[in-house]
Structure 1
Amino acid sequence: MKIAFYGSSIVSAYWNGAATYYRGLLRALAARGHDITFYEPDVYDRQKNRDIDPPEWCKVVVYDGTLEALRQAAARAGEADVVVKASGVGFEDDRLLSEVMGAARPEALKIFWDVDAPATLADLKAAPDHPLRLALPRLDMVLTYGGGDPVVSAYRALGARDCIPVYNALDPETHFPVASDPRFVADLGFLGNRLPDREARVEQFFLEPAAKSPNQAFLLGGSGWDGKPMAGNVRSLGHVSTRDHNAFNVSPKAVLNISRESMAENGFSPATRVFEAAGAGACLITDHWEGIDLFLKPDEEVLVARDGQDVAEIIGRLDRQRAWEIGRKALARVLAEHTYDHRAEAVDRLLRTHGPSRVEAAE
């Protein structure tokens, strides 16, 4: 099937947390025979900070951050069997939704793919005349990268015909075990950009435990933390390139996942970082959120902390041998059940189930 996918960026992970998700899932869909074109705007300096070349498995169309360029890119939705507008594209999202769905052929499968459902739903509930809310009944389905029953029920209540989670997963071609790197050796590492919806939880789950654990070494990676007060045993690296993520994950004794507040409240929303760490064979400590046991088994494949005190206690008693064992079990679990090949199989089935006549025409 020909898929036109309008998203934030697939060639740059710069201020773009969905990049790993897009890459893993679309590559796996392409391997199943789908012809994919990814349309992304040239905004937020992402094109100046590319971390991959345009891939062989997906055509990439970069359009200027102008309304005319947006209209020209959106018009090409008329060539596709499946048209996807993702959330958080970053340039005139509402207009892009209108232009893309207006250009799509009547028989095309029309999908809104939400990569930040809690934030999107908050906007929709606050604005009865929101363009997306008005468009939901005309779309074939909403796909989300997390959220579980709360998100599914909320979208259906707002008029979506259907809402189906397609969770984050592991791309074994990009995240895998590597040798430890001296640059990233520490007792606990955390990798994440400074965001308003995350900062208070980073203070609680990372910076406060560091202050309570002067004999432990803490490593902070990610943009935006300059000027943030932190204990002397915290080493801040700034932006860490995706090419270094595997080494960052395996070099500390353990790495920490901290969900954004909205994701933690909704549950069933594993971050890409969960699978990246597990794929590298890292020992992962995560803040608690409902549904984690669907992906990794607590105390055996992942360690769960309900607050900063838990983090300090876990890292204080965790030895390297147990950390290694947890990481190996996590790796085995995600390879067996949670790769993007598994997710793509489910998405492929959805596309064919919801549009058999379209598939036949495409084939």
Structure 2
Amino acid sequence: MKIVLFYHSLLSDWNHGNAHFLRGIVQELKVRGHEVQVYEPENGWSLQNLVNEYGPEKLNELHSYYPGLATNFYNLDTLKLDSVLLNADLVLVHEWNDHELVKRIGEHRIGKNYKLLFHDTHHRAVTEKSSMAAYDLSHYDGVLAFGEVIKNIYLQEQWTQKAWTWHEAADDSVFYPRTKTELQGDLVWIGNWGDEERTAELHEFLINPVKELGLKAKIYGVRYPEHALKSLADAGIEYGGWLPNYKAPEEFAKYKVTVHVPRRPYVEALPGIPTIRPFEALSCGIPLITAPWEDAENLFTPGQDFLVAQNGEEMKQHLRTVLSDENKAGALVAQGLKTINQRHTCAHRVNELEIICGELGIDSAKILGNKKEQNLHAK
């Protein structure tokens, strides 16, 4: 198939979690013999922040982890869809795109043979409903939603006639267990502060337990306000700033445990959506403890793949257990990694996407692509 994707950024994961999954999907599609073209806006805020703060050499580093990864920059005023979408079989348009772009691609779809899907990987369908309702999806073939509850919103609000659940997953070509050499501490956490959506939770499930247990910990991420940095310093937590996502596996290998603290909108309104961080942590073979979230879609087996702390006191108890009991920690690692490898890699998600393509009527010969390569990578 020729597949064209419009996303905010393939190159930058600076405060841009969608890049994690997108990179893995693009590489997996290419391995299977599909022609993939990614388009992102020129001067996109995520890429500009990355380059401004860390320099263009970071992009060279990215390509050492993702050989052959390439994108195309467009300007909405000069974008020529007839050229870009020539001979396309499948077009994916992410929900972080400009409303005008979404509308224009939909209008271009009229009378064309390619299939067109909108891809939603955020909580704005709940938290910014009017903005999401303003997207014109009338000429789209359907929606890929990263959780069942999001899918149902699109259908109930009649924003689309067809929708599929398409969860995020771990890119196991990059996210796999690294050999542990010299440990640098007890706990590592990788995540952005961002928008005060989980300030209380970060204190209860991360900062306070680390402080009260006297753990050696390090936190990576961006958009940490002064009060957050002060809280980290008061707890004796080292702040590492932005960490390129592809370096997370190397950092996980230097610590004994990590935690997941979901943002409030996911916990309260979007059960079943863990975001991509737990997938990646489990794929790297590090014990994981999470703050409460409802695994409504049975993606995992809580208590076996990871431990769940209902409050700060339970978080401390679980941390003590994992840090002191090597057998328990090892069992969590083994089971979590097994679950990822059996169900939650980008190869699994491409398998699902190819099934959806079949339902949309794309020719099966195009969907199969390089069948030999597909058989090697499908799991």
DSSP-derived class of the 1:190 partner: strand
C-alpha separation in 1, matches of 2:84 and 2:15 = 26
DSSP-derived class of the 1:238 partner: coil
Query: Is the alpha carbon distance of 1:255 and 1:167 closer, same or farther for their aligned partners in structure 2, counting shifts above 3 Å?
Result: same
The answer as to 2:245 corresponding to 1:235 is: no
Q: Deviations over 1:203-260 (max 9, x none)?
A: 23212223332x2222211122262222332111111223431122232221011112
What letter matches 2:331 in structure 1? E
Query: Is the alpha carbon distance of 1:59 and 1:241 closer, same or farther for their aligned partners in structure 2, counting shifts above 3 Å?
Result: closer
- Whether the aligned pair in 2 keeps the contact of 1:2 and 1:362 (CA below 8 Å) is no
Question: What value does the CA root-mean-square deviation take over the aligned residues?
Answer: 2.7
DSSP-derived class of the 1:33 partner: coil
Partner in structure 1 of residue 144 of structure 2: 143
Identity %: 20
The answer as to 2:62 corresponding to 1:52 is: yes
Partner in structure 2 of residue 330 of structure 1: 336
- Whether the aligned pair in 1 keeps the contact of 2:89 and 2:362 (CA below 8 Å) is no
- Whether the aligned pair in 2 keeps the contact of 1:80 and 1:108 (CA below 8 Å) is yes
After superposing the two structures, state which structure 1 stretch, 77-86 or 341-350, moved more: 77-86
What letter matches 1:77 in structure 2? L
Matches within 5 A, 1:139-178: 139-145=140-146, 147-148=147-148, 150-159=149-158, 160-178=160-178
TM-score with structure 2 setting the length: 0.83
How far 1:359 moved relative to its partner?
A: 6.8
Partner in structure 2 of residue 346 of structure 1: 352
Partner in structure 1 of residue 260 of structure 2: 257
DSSP-derived class of the 1:143 partner: strand
Query: Is the alpha carbon distance of 1:78 and 1:103 closer, same or farther for their aligned partners in structure 2, counting shifts above 3 Å?
Result: farther
DSSP-derived class of the 1:113 partner: strand
Q: Deviations over 1:100-145 (max 9, x none)?
A: 22223533211100111x2134323x369x431xx23432110022
Partner in structure 1 of residue 184 of structure 2: 185
The answer as to 2:321 corresponding to 1:317 is: yes
After superposing the two structures, state which structure 1 stretch, 294-303 or 98-107, moved more: 98-107
Query: Is the alpha carbon distance of 1:8 and 1:361 closer, same or farther for their aligned partners in structure 2, counting shifts above 3 Å?
Result: closer
Aligned pair partner of 2:77 in 68, 74, 84: 68
C-alpha separation in 2, matches of 1:283 and 1:68 = 48
* Number of aligned positions between the proteins: 348
What letter matches 2:124 in structure 1? A
The answer as to 2:291 corresponding to 1:287 is: yes
C-alpha separation in 2, matches of 1:201 and 1:224 = 16
Q: Deviations over 1:13-66 (max 9, x none)?
A: 222101111111222233333211100123121564535239666652123xx4
C-alpha separation in 1, matches of 2:344 and 2:41 = 30
Partner in structure 2 of residue 304 of structure 1: 308
What letter matches 1:234 in structure 2? I
Ranges in structure 2 where 5+ consecutive residues have no aligned partner: 370-379
C-alpha separation in 2, matches of 1:220 and 1:99 = 41
Query: Is the alpha carbon distance of 1:353 and 1:32 closer, same or farther for their aligned partners in structure 2, counting shifts above 3 Å?
Result: farther
How far 1:358 moved relative to its partner?
A: 9.2
What letter matches 2:222 in structure 1? S
DSSP-derived class of the 1:62 partner: strand
Aligned pair partner of 2:280 in 276, 283, 291: 276
Partner in structure 2 of residue 247 of structure 1: 250
What letter matches 1:115 in structure 2? T
- Whether the aligned pair in 2 keeps the contact of 1:81 and 1:362 (CA below 8 Å) is no
DSSP-derived class of the 1:40 partner: strand
Ranges in structure 1 where 5+ consecutive residues have no aligned partner: none
C-alpha separation in 2, matches of 1:361 and 1:333 = 26
Query: Is the alpha carbon distance of 1:357 and 1:317 closer, same or farther for their aligned partners in structure 2, counting shifts above 3 Å?
Result: closer
| 4+ long deviations beyond 6 Å | 358-363
C-alpha separation in 2, matches of 1:11 and 1:154 = 30
- Whether the aligned pair in 2 keeps the contact of 1:267 and 1:290 (CA below 8 Å) is yes
DSSP-derived class of the 1:111 partner: strand
Partner in structure 1 of residue 372 of structure 2: none
- Whether the aligned pair in 1 keeps the contact of 2:266 and 2:273 (CA below 8 Å) is yes
